[in-house]
Amino acid sequence: MENEQKGIPLLGDKFPDMKVVTTRGMINLPEDMKGKWFVLFSHPADFTPVCTTEFVAFQQRYEKFKALNTELIGLSVDQVFSHIKWEEWIKEKIGVEIQFPIIADTGAVAQKLGLVHPGKGTNTVRAVFIVDAEGIIRIMFYYPQELGRNMDEILRAVEAMQVADKNKVAMPAQWPNGELFGKRVIIPPATDVETARKRLEGAKTGEYECLDWWLCHKEL
């Protein structure tokens, strides 16, 4: 029998069911996160320079993620005692206490999520999965081992998707500090002639503003 093929899941897929060992005990994903968003991010290894800066940066924004009803979950192919010792080192040397769980992966999770780069041995790449309150993968980022992540962008992405879902709108580049529209959001383009006509009429009433029927924006 052929081995089941493992690879990167797709946007819109349900996050794969898995029971994982973490520094905060056993967690069933995505079941235990139901009703809240979570950001699962993998790192190549404990006790490595770039990963250390990333964990400090994530922890310093942890309260902001929690304010968005979002949990952080780290992951690498390291044993749980390695994670614990690394957390202790970060607290002792840098003065930051890591408060979110870190998955101790045997390799099974990394294989299921497509986190192992063929040319990098058994180390996981720097991947980020943003998963919504229904357990659906909404955003994925992948970074090479040499490049640390921008946590403010990950935080922005979570907030932007939540705003988009709540208001049925799209989010412009650089939101909420966009060069064109600032904090304003984009109304999804019309997909039929009648809606296109009404868009321009709606712009006349001040409900929103349009550069054309296919590019309309408004305040929330």
Q: Which residues are catalytic?
A: 51
- 40-74 residues labelled b (16+ CB within 10 A) or e (exposed): bbbbbebeeebbbebbebbbeebeebeeeebbbbb
The answer to whether the beta carbons of residues 57 and 64 sit under 8 Å apart is no
Q: Which residues contact 7 (CB under 8 A, 6 or more apart)?
A: 114
Angle between helices 80-94 and 49-60 (to 10 degrees): 70
Neighbouring C-beta atoms of residue 180, cutoff 10 Å = 12
The answer to whether the beta carbons of residues 218 and 209 sit under 8 Å apart is yes
The answer to whether the beta carbons of residues 13 and 92 sit under 8 Å apart is no
